[in-house]
Amino acid sequence: MPFEDLGTPSLLLNRDVFENNCRVMQERAQGAEVRLRPHMKTAKSVEAYKLATRGGFEGITVSTLAEADFFADAGVRDILYAVGIVPGKLTTAQKIQDKGVKLGLITDNAAVIPALDDEAERLGTTFSVAVEIDSGGGRGGVLSESADLLDLAAALKNSRRLSFEGVLTHAGHSYGFSTAEEIAEIAEQERLAVVRAAERLRKAGFSCPLVSAGSTPTAVFARSFEGLSEIRPGVYMFGDVDQLFIGTCKADEIAATVLTSVIGHNRSSRRLLVDAGGLALSKDISASIFSSQSGYGLVCKLDGTIIDEIFVESVHQEHGLIAAVSGNLPFEDYPVGSRLRILPIHVCMTVAAYEHYEVHDAQGSLVARWNRVNRW
């Protein structure tokens, strides 16, 4: 039986699929002559980093300073921390820079710049900061046509210890669409937001080397990367059920799955119980905007074949409840003690519950264990 030496729940990673996903994106970026700075917030693994940057630019994007520190220790020398910086984090940032790393920081707030500058002064160091642009996602950033943009660049340029590096955006709202045309539109919006911001800045006399954009959907469906210095997708390495519906991957291109045991049959509620619940899968149900029958995960056999008839309908902390699409669950096909694999809805959230990946090849043989850097 494949994976029989593993306990459940465990996090499996198909190395061959992962490697191919990395290769395809690297080729796409190189074909479009744009630098790929992969976002390591999902993978959080050194081995994954090596595959994601193979044959390309060696810099990365991270979502926590814990990741930055981890990858610094692994020898990465160009790291962009793509979450708004605050003065209280600069001591840690300095320690990472002191490991020989070119660490990029971002902000969208002019009012905090004096405090950042004071803290850099106190630490006796300098920091390179880019300005975050809101390209429609409504998360971080200022609008590219706003007065704030020039104010921010000026405040950075005029500080003692900070330098202005450029502009960055992330079209997180690309996750809400499922046609190539719609996502290509978002990609163009994302691209133009930073390209126009860079143009305004250059016209006003600022140097703007960093013009960074990217998410997996926009990286896959963009019609143009013109004017961008780099793209920063991350989820493409894995794929997941969200990406399947969005259309950036096929089912057999999903690299990570959760190995689970059937632990009960609830015949009165017609549910199969598995030991992968809210902690093992996460409570992310983002694919529900695309399908009422995706729930907390799709289900596949041990060999990876998807079982179309069932899905993880609900979760409790340590219980997953699998229901049949038809309502009629063939309990005899899933005896208690048997095992299944679950395709994650939103892989970034699911893999975060695990300390390592149990890495296997396309044939289902375990070949390695890759550590993750979790938390902050």
Q: How far is the CB of 318 from its own copies (least distance, A)?
A: 5
Compare residues 9 and 214 and give the one whose CB is closer to its own copies.
9
Compare residues 7 and 100 and give the one whose CB is closer to its own copies.
7
Q: How far is the CB of 190 from its own copies (least distance, A)?
A: 15
How far is residue 115's CA from residue 94's CA, in Å, rounded to a whole number? 15
Using CA atoms, how far residue 92 sits from 58, 69, 95, 318, in Å, is: 22, 9, 5, 35
Q: Cis ω on the peptide bond leading into residue 330 (within 30° of 0)? A: no
- Between the two ends of the chain, the Cα-to-Cα distance in Å is 37
Q: How far is the CB of 115 from its own copies (least distance, A)?
A: 6
Q: How far is the CB of 340 from its own copies (least distance, A)?
A: 12
Compare residues 28 and 141 and give the one whose CB is closer to its own copies.
141
Compare residues 152 and 231 and give the one whose CB is closer to its own copies.
152
Other Cβ atoms within 10 Å of 343 Cβ, number: 26
Q: How far is the CB of 271 from its own copies (least distance, A)?
A: 7
Q: Are 95 and 70 in contact (CB under 8 A)?
A: no
Q: How far is the CB of 187 from its own copies (least distance, A)?
A: 18
Q: What is the binding site for its own copies (CB under 8 A)?
A: 7-10, 41, 63-64, 83-89, 92, 107-109, 111-112, 115, 132, 134, 138-143, 146, 148, 172, 261-269, 271, 273, 275, 278-280, 282-285, 316-319, 321, 335-337, 348-349, 352-355, 375-376
Going by their DSSP bridges, the two strands 366-371 and 298-300 should be labelled as unpaired
Compare residues 264 and 364 and give the one whose CB is closer to its own copies.
264
Q: How far is the CB of 6 from its own copies (least distance, A)?
A: 9
Compare residues 115 and 362 and give the one whose CB is closer to its own copies.
115
Compare residues 23 and 265 and give the one whose CB is closer to its own copies.
265
Residue type, 183: I
